Amino acid sequence: MSSQYVLVDFENVQPDLSQLANSPYKVKIFFGAKQQESRVPFKLLDAVMALGGNAEAIKITRSGSNAVDMHIAWYIGGLLEREPGARIHIISGDSDFDPLIEFLSARSVDCRRTKTLAELVVKKPARAAAPAPVPKTPARAKSTAIPHKSPASDKLSAVLKHLRSMKDKPTTRTKLAKWIDTHFRQHGGAQNAKMVDRTIDDLIHLKFVTQDGTKVIYHLSS
């Protein structure tokens, strides 16, 4: 398995490194020359200790423009010489690294940059609340009877009644849809195409009609 390295440009950003504790990453922290003259905050010391043997502090002895960046670039070259398959993540807000990253990516090197550790820290998903139990309801006997409790069911009953009285019924779904559309227009008002299709689907669902390809077969004896 390829080693995974996190190179922190601590002169540019100061992330909470303790987030990487117990992770597979080997962390290299690059300190600028001027940073070494100031006191190290206990929070940083505590975070580095949490990383145990996976952390290494790298001191830049000379200050200057892009001094830390150049050291990080040199360090990347050394890592890849020793471990060509290493995966490298630079933590920095400095976009000067991006041309180098594009160069490496074009050569199939897994190297990227972010300003924070968010991409590296795997958060545990929140535990979903258990769904409320669904109360059991008594089983009902299957029936093809049409309830007369809504305008839709009333319309379906009227369609059925009219179909039963017809001698020459529509033989295809397209013709049946056209007939139902005409029926609605003549009995209570026109309906949209969605309502016409729903009516045919209800007839099929209730087994008053079966569809074979484009043809429809009727079962209206009851």
Quick one: pLDDT at residue 126? 47
* pTM metric for this prediction: 0.51
Q: State residue 34's pLDDT score.
A: 78
Q: Specify the CATH number for the domain of residue 189.
A: 1.10.10.10
| Domain enclosing residue 60, as ranges | 4-114
Last residue of a domain, one of 69, 94, 114: 114
Q: State how far the Cα of 192 lies from the Cα of 81, in Å rounded to an integer.
A: 70
pLDDT on residue 124: 43
Q: Which H or E element spans position 45?
A: helix 42-51
User: Same domain for 18 and 81?
Assistant: yes
Looking at residue 71, what DSSP letter applies? H
List average pLDDT for each run of 10 residues in the chain, which is 222 residues long: 89 87 88 72 72 84 86 94 94 93 93 89 53 63 51 75 88 92 83 86 88 89 64
What are phi and psi for residue 40, nearest 5 degrees?
-80, 120
